[in-house]
Amino acid sequence: MNISENEISRIVYESGYKVHKTLGPGLLESAYEECMFYELKRHNLLVEKQKPMPLIYDEVKLNPQKINVTITDTADRNICRFFIAVSGERSR
C-alpha cells in the first residue's frame, strides 16, 4: 500500500462521518465497528479488528486492551489505531 498518512486520515474521517450519518446514534459499538471495517476495506486499506494492545501503567502490566480497528502498511507498521466511542443523548 503506497498511500500517505494524510490520505489515510482523510479516508478514516470520511468513513466515520458516513457511518455516523447513515446509522445515527444509539446502536451497539459492534455495529459501528463492523461498518467502519467495511468502509475501510472498500478503500483497499489493510485493516484488522479487535487486535490486542499491551497496556502498561508505570511498572504494572494490565490486561491487554482490544483496539477496534488497526490499519497497517506493507511494512507491517501500525499507522492508525482507534477505538470507536459511542455516545448518545439520554432522555430525562
Instruction: List the chain domain ranges.
Output: 5-82
Confidence of residue 20 (pLDDT cuts 50, 70, 90): very high
The tens digit of pLDDT for each residue in 34-63 reads 999 999 999 988 888 888 888 889 999 988
| φ, ψ (nearest 5 deg) of residue 20 | -65, -45
Look at 61 and 86; give whichever has higher pLDDT.
61
The crossing angle, in degrees rounded to 10, of helices 29-42 and 5-23 is 130
